[in-house]
Amino acid sequence: MSTTTSQLLSTSLHQQHVDLGGKMVPFAGWSMPVDYGSILNEAKAVREGSGVFDVSHMARFVFRGDDVATKLDHALGGCITDQPVGVARYTMLLQDDAGILDDLLTYRLADDEFMLVVNASNRERDWDLLAERLDGVECSDLTEDGGGILALQGPESLNVLRKLSGDDNFAPAFLGLGEIETDFGTLFFARTGYTGEHGYELFPSAEQIVPLWMSLMSLDVTPVGLGSRDILRLEAALPLYGHEIHENITPFDAGLRFGVRGWKTRDFIGGDALRALPEPDKYLIGFTCEKRIPREGYNVLCDGEIVGTICSGAMSVVLGKPIATAYVPKNVDGDFSIDFRGKPHAATCVDLPFVPHRSRD
């Protein structure tokens, strides 16, 4: 998908982002807001209150059919046949050799109907591959239907939805799906997110998306761009495709066994390869630094020897210092440093996640 300005896709909220001073940048073929003035302040707003991201660039696929669960169970890494109706589940799309092609969420809308949300950068490849693997299943790509996804995240997000719906008893379970009644109709939601905070992903129709956004603004929810989203997901040690996960990383390497439920016995693409793999000889670790931010691709050193490369790096709004992730061999032991273009700087190895998860709170 092209990323030239003249050919960029726009979400239905493009004008609202511009009116709020959003810095629009090309991202996975879309014009998206990276921030509205301060990436760090926006990340802080999500950690302390509530923020909303327009993530309508994420691809939305719907699959229907009597045997859709069985076919998805074979096509994806995670077990689908036992996924309850009204529940979301994290899983992955794997190659035959168990390399990760993408990570995604499956939403079971009915016995015979699922929605999948996949990364925008992989939309075309995922669509072609899933259509091939799901032969005979009714497939629909809803990504450009004028609706979208708004991610409402933060400790105040529950109160925001209670005000939006007028329902003081609104309290869905983690990963639960449902509907709330609003002034602009019935709104579908999932209690999911990509920040580590208590939060929701809202799925407005083309007619609902602008009124929903304006209602959230009137409730003093902070608009948040993709820059803050990256800080928040990294603090929570949530993987990003193309960084912590990609075709040369398996779910075992990435510590994502929960995303391939039933891998020991199920018949699915990549399953034979997973069962034949030895225990991984590398693992993902976290680093903190005192001043400079480690960037993707920078070498990680242990006692002066290269042992890995940085996957992701950012300034943590919670810790007030740079953080980063990298894969290193399991047997490495010594003093770590990061090579900043020929100049090593000390780094401290820390447990992941950098910030405790509150998504289940």
Yes or no: say if 210 and 60 are a contact pair by the CB < 8 Å rule: no
Q: Angle 80-86-88 (CA atoms, 0-180°, nearest 5)?
A: 55
pLDDT of the chain along its 361 residues, tens only? 334 445 899 999 999 999 999 999 999 999 999 999 999 999 999 999 999 999 999 999 999 999 999 999 999 999 999 999 999 999 999 999 999 999 999 999 999 999 999 999 999 999 999 999 999 999 999 999 999 999 999 999 999 999 999 999 999 999 999 999 999 999 999 999 999 999 999 999 999 999 999 999 999 999 999 999 999 999 999 999 999 999 999 999 999 999 999 999 999 999 999 999 999 999 999 999 998 999 999 999 999 999 999 999 999 999 999 999 999 999 999 999 999 989 999 999 999 999 999 999 9
Which tokens is 286 given? 């976290």
State pLDDT tens for residues 118-172. 999 999 999 999 999 999 999 999 999 999 999 999 999 999 999 999 999 999 9
Yes or no: say if 197 and 358 are a contact pair by the CB < 8 Å rule: yes
Question: What is the full DSSP assignment across 192-236?
Answer: --SSSSSEEEEE--TTTHHHHHHHHHHTTPEE--HHHHHHHHHHT
CATH number of 281-350: 2.40.30.110
Place of tokens 């603004």: 217
Yes or no: say if 107 and 61 are a contact pair by the CB < 8 Å rule: no
Q: Angle 92-148-74 (CA atoms, 0-180°, nearest 5)?
A: 25
State pLDDT tens for residues 51-94. 999 999 999 999 999 999 999 999 999 999 999 999 999 999 99
d(CA 45, CA 232): 11
Report in angstroms the alpha-carbon separations of 6 from 2, 3, 9, 12, 21.
9, 8, 9, 17, 20
Of 271, 246, 222, residue with least CA distance to 42: 222
Yes or no: say if 212 and 329 are a contact pair by the CB < 8 Å rule: no
Its sign, for the CA torsion 195, 29, 245, 86, is positive
Helix count (H) and strand count (E) of the chain? 8, 21
> What's the confidence (pLDDT) of residue 4?
43
Q: Is the pTM of this model over 0.85?
A: yes
Which residue type sits at 268? F
Q: What angle separates helix 123-133 from helix 68-75, to the nearest 10 degrees?
A: 120
> What's the confidence (pLDDT) of residue 2?
36
* CA 112 distance to own-chain centroid: 25
Residues of the chain with CATH 2.40.30.110: 281-350
d(CA 218, CA 16): 13
d(CA 121, CA 246): 12
CATH number of 57-133+250-275: 3.30.70.1400
CATH architecture under which domain 5-55+146-235 falls? 2-Layer Sandwich (3.30)
d(CA 258, CA 273): 17
Residues of the chain with CATH 3.30.1360.120: 5-55+146-235
> What's the confidence (pLDDT) of residue 291?
87
Yes or no: say if 163 and 219 are a contact pair by the CB < 8 Å rule: yes
d(CA 334, CA 190): 44
Residues of the chain with CATH 3.30.70.1400: 57-133+250-275
Place of tokens 């447990």: 351
